[in-house]
Amino acid sequence: MAKFVFVTGGVVSALGKGIACASLGNLLKARGLKVILQKFDPYLNVDPGTMSPFQHGEVFVLEDGAECDLDLGHYERFTDINLSQINNLTSGRVYETILAKERKGEYLGRTVQVIPHVTDEIKRRIILPAKEHPDADVIITEIGGTVGDIESLPFLEAIRQFRLEQPREDTASMHLTLVPYIKAAGEIKTKPTQHSVRELRSIGIQPDFLVCRSEKPIGDDARRKIGLFCNLDVDHVFEACDVPSIYEVPLRLHAQNFDKLFCELLGLETEEPDLAEWERMVHAVLNPGGTVKIAIVGKYTELKDAYKSIIESFIHAGIPHHVGVEQVWIDSESLEADDVGDHQLAEIFEGIHGILVPGGFGDRGIPGKVNAIRYARENKVPFFGICLGLQCAMIEIGRDLVGLEKAGSAEFTPESPHPVIHLMEEQRGITNLGGTMRLGAYPCNLLPESRAAACYGELEISERHRHRYEVNNSYLKQFEEAGVVFSGLSPDGELVEILELPEHPFFVAVQFHPELKSRPGRPHPLFREFVAAAVAHQESTNRKSVDQAAN
């Protein structure tokens, strides 16, 4: 039987439970253990697929098409393990399952209640990864939200029951909490942590480990005080200060014997982890030889978490080129005013070495994205389009190169005489929005001698998708005559996956989401080569500036 670790949070949300879980998974995997991570979210949505990016941030899509919380992206990036539907659970999914059973009469007339029916279903899902993967050593389960939230109570009660039912040495509890620094007083305060742990203990869960988030080092005295009031050995109180890179967190925790103490508590005999490669990666992230600027022209730029995987992919992509990627956020709506012309665009993109147009839904901000793509194409600025970015590229090229003046997408302009983007055939007639898009990993064949094939170094790839609309094949011939190369197609040749312009330093757009498969040790090929093109553009621009100054 696997060991089980439960991770909860207190005081405030967004403390970094996902990073703490991912870091523990990273360190235990480095010790040779097979680790599985899962996230339980208390909200009533069945999954985050229909939630606004402004509320929830990015929807992370797994290989099997599951739409999940963005923390699963951290899990995959830190452990380099592909997860699946069983690794994410919401209250909505729990109640959906229970009510379906109730309608079928499976409860034999019994009253359906939170205890035992809801808690039993949660416990079933806790242990499910261990049944699916009998060789798993450790299952790490993160509970979303904070202790004290009313919607979290069934999950916490399930954990309490589960720990009572399992041998003591087979489970551990980790609580993440805030130790705020009061600038006016010049000191940190432990009382919020004490209250948070007291709340957790009041429902029957005594944490075995505390991870204390703070802007400043908390010091040994504060750790002893926290341990005393929270009924913990001081060695089980860990400091988690702000760091320049999230990838530094496993190293900081390892230096405090974090993973060693977990293994001792759970009775796991392991070798010391070899973290040399991870240390080299972190050093490269923290010590780049230079910087390139990439403009991200999006419609959810007010909340950076909406593009979390893209942000991380750029960090990964900078490593092999010894550069840091500075992301310049541009609201696409700011580029669509009537007075935004070539001169204004030139000012906005001054000093930019690459332009990325990411995914999204709806018509808001589309003209601005099209303007950004036109600027990148006409001025030979490296361009990378993702999902909606490909569809906007089709619109821009259709209007300016193919001569389809009113080219558009059936999603935004259903009255367009030239719908170069239209609804996928299998999407027609679908009324439910949740979980019905083209989701998950699909194969793609690349055109030999294309830029895409050069980036990947192979001709058969697999990438993750999340979309309803696709390129309208009725227009392919016209686009090809205008110089567009459709370099990636589905195996049956029916779905355009990648388009590129060969007479351009880097103009590539894809229908899938490559950011979902990028890892710190394996930057995604398209992001890696896009950053390489941005570096080359920067060098070319600098040479021109020097030549102009000399003349």
Instruction: Give backbone dihedrals phi and psi of 339, rounded to 5 degrees, phi first.
Output: -95, 10
DSSP characters over 36-94: EEEEEE-SSSSSGGGS-HHHH-PPEE-TT--EE-THHHHHHHHH-----GGGEEEHHHH
* Nearest one of 322, 317, 315 to 245, comparing CA atoms: 315
Using alpha carbons only, give the angle 382, 385, 391 rounded to the nearest 5 degrees.
Answer: 135
Contact indicator for 61, 516 with CB cutoff of 8 Å: yes
Which residues touch 381 (CB under 8 Å, ≥6 apart)?
349, 352, 353, 354, 355, 375, 505, 537
Contact indicator for 434, 59 with CB cutoff of 8 Å: no
Using alpha carbons only, give the angle 537, 540, 546 rounded to the nearest 5 degrees.
Answer: 140
**Could you write out the three-class secondary structure of 93-106?**
HHHHHHHHHHHCCC
* Nearest one of 423, 424, 369 to 399, comparing CA atoms: 369
Contact indicator for 17, 5 with CB cutoff of 8 Å: no
Maximum pairwise Cα distance, the chain: 90
Q: How far is it, in rounded angstroms, from Cα 84 to Cα 87? A: 6
Which residues touch 219 (CB under 8 Å, ≥6 apart)?
188
Contact indicator for 282, 244 with CB cutoff of 8 Å: no
Q: Which amino acid is at 415?
A: E
Q: Please compute Rg for the chain using Cα positions.
A: 25
Which tokens hold the place of 436? Answer: 């019905």
Number of H helices, E strands in the chain: 18, 23
Contact indicator for 122, 155 with CB cutoff of 8 Å: yes
By three-state DSSP, how is residue 467 classified? Answer: strand
Contact indicator for 83, 76 with CB cutoff of 8 Å: yes
Which tokens hold the place of 411? Answer: 């999603």
Q: What residues act catalytically? A: 387, 513, 515
